[in-house]
Amino acid sequence: MVGSVGNGLADLAASMNGVGKASAEPLPMELEPPADVMAAAAAAAEAEAEGKAAAAAANGKREIVMGRNVHTSCFAVKEPDADDEETGEREATMASVLALYRRSLVERTKHHLGYPYNLDFDYGALGQLQHFSINNLGDPFIESNYGVHSRQFEVGVLDWFARLWELEKEEYWGYITNCGTEGNLHGILVGREVFPDGILYASRESHYSVFKAARMYRMDCVKVDTLMSGEIDCADFQRKLVQNRDKPAIINVNIGTTVKGAVDDLDLVIKILEENGFKDRFYIHCDGALFGLMIPFVKKAPKVTFKKPIGSVSVSGHKFVGCPMPCGVQITRLEHINVLSSNVEYLASRDATIMGSRNGHAPIFLWYTLNRKGYRGFQKEVQKCLRNAHYLKDRLKGAGIGTMLNELSSTVVFERPKDEEFVRRWQLACEGNIAHVVVMPSVNIDKLDYFVNELVEKRATWYQDGISQPPCIARDVGVENCLCGLHK
């Protein structure tokens, strides 16, 4: 049966066997997936992939390679048998699933490089709190009637970030979000509520959630071109801005773009707005999902601060900080939040957040890490990430692989590996002809050497026939960073 426990276990075993580990524990016969189902699923997936590739080739566009259909490997929920309590078979089966799943997580973590998650953390001391349903529903600053909350931790974390971005306690409002996307949704919503007829401006390399917000809120959205580095093209921004002088401007400024890690020039954006008649008629949201927490600790980096006329800043908590569950921090000016908030008697609190119920465990994890590391600890980790990113760039370049690294970034961009299995093995994020590695505190030199050595070895086999050639990435990273046959 597709979606059986057996399919999922087989998938885990296969994924572990394919990465150089000893053979996984044999599966009980009753859990093994039917061969005909797996063969049919594989054939269907292959046919679908070939069809998409042919259509993409006909259109002259590179196919977007999608991940596998999880329905072929999911763990089904089944009703317990009548005698399960006596035999304990169900408990044993679930225990084996979880044990094998944990082993797969360990293996997958070893080969994780493409997404900005810090996997170096130890929250064992917080295990004692997992027995409680902690929910921070409502406003962080106004206690609700639900008493099992962690607002005291949440507000402590928010105070820390407000100090980091230079906004006084009595002048800010914020909350712990469920992810970075929610921070963008909230920041742009605040901007729209402050300027209901405002136009949203965002660079083409902004995170997809920015454009999702425009669709959700039915906002007019203007996409601005980018420079080769990935940062917003301020000349194009000015051209498009002056075409709408009669409408206020809501601007998304990237503190690290998704693919190239580029930092938009916040000061120049503000200057353009003020010099073109938009003074007091603009709202800036800073999307700092990853680099918003790194850039304050980079020497000579431009400052992200509320001493400048910005409206909100959001960061992710599960990226550089290293929280084990997705979460984020959103900070805005208190004067803005009154526009979209309302009191809810049912909660005995105020509704000003995107979500209703909010994970009360996340603020505790963030509080724990901020107290353990502090400013000095984060500064050391930022410097380590930047050093290791330069090391990776130099190793790739030395191996004849085109690569680019922005000055304020730990995101190393390089030519997309030809083999999608290699991409999946190292969990690389790809776009067109480029891929990237995001060097986080959990990524050390040994892991980077392991990756580069394997890439160089595989690459030699991909292009050994002399006919296939590495992709040209000059259009993505510039001629000076491309090492294809034409530009080498």
Give every CB contact of residue 55 below 8 A, 6+ residues apart in sequence.
Answer: 63
* Of 304, 310, 302, 305, the residue nearest 273 (C-alpha): 310
What is d(CA 76, CA 5) in angstroms, rounded to the nearest whole number?
A: 6
The DSSP call for residue 69 is -
Within 10 angstroms of residue 232's Cβ, the number of other Cβ atoms is: 30
Residues 119-157, buried b or exposed e (16+ Cβ, 10 A)? eebebeeeeeeeeeebbbbbbbbebbebeebbbebbbbb
322-to-183, 294, 330, 350 alpha-carbon distances in Å: 17, 13, 17, 30
What is d(CA 108, CA 104) in angstroms, rounded to the nearest whole number?
A: 6
* Of 408, 411, 445, 447, the residue nearest 431 (C-alpha): 411
* Of 331, 272, 295, the residue nearest 141 (C-alpha): 331
Whether 409 is catalytic = yes
**φ/ψ of residue 32, rounded to 5:** -70, 135
Q: Any idea what the Cα angle at residue 291 is, between residues 254 and 258, rounded to 5°?
A: 55
Which 3 state secondary structure label does DSSP give 87?
A: helix
**Residues 472, 487 contacting (CB under 8 angstroms):** yes
| Residues linked to residue 173 through DSSP beta bridges, in sequence order | 332
Task: Give residue 250's Cα distance to chain centre.
Answer: 23
Q: Token pair of 178, please?
A: 């469920």
**φ/ψ of residue 271, rounded to 5:** -60, -45
What is d(CA 137, CA 352) in angstroms, rounded to the nearest whole number?
A: 10
Q: Token pair of 44, please?
A: 């269907």
**Residues 4, 144, 409, 410: which is the catalytic one?**
409
Residue type, 9: L
What residues are annotated to the active site?
A: 409
